[in-house]
Amino acid sequence: GKTTAAMHWGARTFPKHVVCREGKLLAGWPPHIPFGDLNEIPREHLEELLRGWEEGTLRWCDATAEDMLRARDDPQSVLP
């Protein structure tokens, strides 16, 4: 992995820094949990996200060239 990579939880910063710069998308984010600052997510949702990481249903995947264009032109479309 890249040791200088950082996670960005904002609707504007995630597409720019994570999708475009790092070339990654978050796959498997539950649709009923709003994407955003983890400090604002209720505990039961945090536990569900943790289970997703542990089970592999929530994971990083490589962004395609099309994903990166969408991140630039329509940032909301690449949010988990």
Task: Give tens-digit pLDDT for 14-39.
Answer: 999 999 999 999 999 999 999 999 99
At residue 1, the pLDDT reads 63
Global pTM reads: 0.87
71: exposed, middle or buried (Cβ count in 10 Å: 0-12, 13-18, 19+)? buried
The confidence score (pLDDT) of residue 34 equals 94
Contact 2, 34 (CB under 8 A): no
Mean pLDDT of the residues in the chain: 94
For residues 54 and 7, what is the distance between their CA atoms, to the nearest angstrom? 18
